[in-house]
Amino acid sequence: MTRTRISSGGPWEGPFGYSRAVRAGNFVAVSGTTSANPDGTIHGAGDAYAQARRCFEIIERALAEAGRGAQLATAAGAGNQA
């Protein structure tokens, strides 16, 4: 099974070997998404709504890069596992 790592350019991806998403076959896993900008600043600091919107934008972009769409997401939230 082929495994593909998908980067979003987040500040922690390089130093810690973190990937925004990983695709293995038809399965795509996305986790640990925050509203951090590539320079490490927080998008929408103090505004939970703006931060949540930014997180979903990052996730949607990762899913699209993996060849999937947000409509296929089946689990979201802390502690959920597929």
**What are residue 52's DSSP bridge partners?**
none
Tell me if 33 is assigned to some domain.
Answer: yes
| Count: domains in the chain | 1
Tell me if 15 is assigned to some domain.
Answer: yes
pLDDT range class, residue 80, cuts 50, 70, 90 = very low
Query: Each residue of 24-47: pLDDT tens digit?
Result: 998 888 888 889 888 889 999 999
Tell me if 42 is assigned to some domain.
Answer: yes
pLDDT at 50: 96
For residue 75, pLDDT over 70 is answered with no
Domain boundaries, position 55? 3-71
Tell me if 81 is assigned to some domain.
Answer: no
Tell me if 82 is assigned to some domain.
Answer: no
CA 71 to chain centre: 15
CATH of the domain at 11: 3.30.1330.40
Average pLDDT, the chain: 83
**What are residue 46's DSSP bridge partners?**
none
For residue 53, pLDDT over 90 is answered with yes
Q: Which of 5, 40, 9 is nearest to 23 (CA)?
A: 5
